Chains A and B, each alone.
Chain A
Amino acid sequence: MADDGIAVSGLTKVYKNVRAVDDLSFTVSPGRVTGFLGPNGAGKTTTLRMVLNLVRPTAGTATIGGRRYADLTDPIRKVGALLEASGAHRGRTGRNHLRMLCDAAGIPVSRADDVLSTVGLTPAANRKFKGYSLGMRQRLGIAAALLGDPDVLVLDEPANGLDPEGIRWMRDLLKSLADEGRTVLVSSHLLTEMELLADDVVIIAAGKLVRQGTVAEILASAGAAQMLVRTPRPEALVAELGAGVTATPAEGGALRIVGADGPTIGAAALRVGAEIHELTAERRDLENVFLQLTAGKADIR
């Protein structure tokens, strides 16, 4: 494992009657944005909290650059984290919230103003936290994560509450941080956003690892491309395509065909004289693949 990578090995967390995280192992590389995906209740937040020593694992280990979080000498100079349900005192200003963190970490308080300007919160610096919108609270959390200029960033649902412009800003920020060689692990269930943002993905469901790899690998792993065909004579077309091609009924009387590409289907239709009303290649996106991989595992536990 490289210097600033995250390594999770055999991580398990058992609550009273739920295995929230179940023998989970994966690695996160520096210089890349890694998306951490899973349905609600899959154990993403619990995993991230175990990586950060906030939740005590039942078994297994999580290390950052080879060391447990609790053993880091200056943790917030090494790792910046944004977690759900991490608040600030309602009556404290954003600037003072950051300054008290600076005090505790031995960082000059001037850093608070630096990161406030990085996240675009300078105009609200002296406003109390209770007056912040959800998006501003999220930005304050990101500011806190950046205080120590860390090599590793761990972000739980950072896009929560951000408007489209904020989401775009966040995407550019995380990509530029990864381009500087930092490790970025970001959990989300916004799959279209992840497809734009992430280089690698780790998919979990029901506390277990489902798949890890680059986005391209994950998309390719979902099998051959599918074609959607609409024709008045489906039986004739399927018969002409022959064995080795599977056809299943799709919505609106269409057929979903796996094992044949567009030209093959078009040629077969011409041979049997079947009219084609629609012929579309179904786009393979992360959302489809994710739903396919986690199907049936997303129950509320």
Chain B
Amino acid sequence: MIRSDILKAIIPVITDKLVVSNIGLPSQELHMLDDQPTNFYMLGTMGLASSIGLGLALSQKETIIAIDGDGSVLTNLGTLPTIANNVANNFILLIIDNGSYGSTGDQPTYAGGNTSLAKVAEACGCDNVFECQAAETKEILETAIQSKKMTIIVSKCLSGNIPVPTIDIDPAVIRYRFMEEIKARN
């Protein structure tokens, strides 16, 4: 399975949830598969999906799922101690770990080499860290949502991309419709 297969598999679980999605192809794939006002697409700023997600989780009641990538977490490794020390039980960080920088031409990341992001997260003090294979992601994500505990999932999958259109929604519109959904739910 590649990242888009994981996204397809988890859409029934995340379609009505508040989702922050990582820059580049992950956002474009999610947008193509299931565009919703509940999705906050990052169009730039590599690395900050988990930080935006944590800020959201600490500021309102609804469950927030940040869909991140291994390359982006490596870019912003400082996020893991912050998550560990400011526990938000309505926050789930799903790291789709394909061991590569998918949006820039599949260059290998260190997460595909000697570095285990699950172990890094645990060493940073995060509880409820699960590393799984791509096919298990949906079930583990469902369990994490039901548990109402801050959870980090590292889903290992193969590198690879599908053709996707770019996101032609103005960033202020993405932000506005996302905030309206949050207001309506809180």
Query: Do A and B interact with each other, yes or no?
Result: no
Residues of chain B having any CB pair with chain A under 8 Å:
none
Residues of chain A having any CB pair with chain B under 8 Å:
none
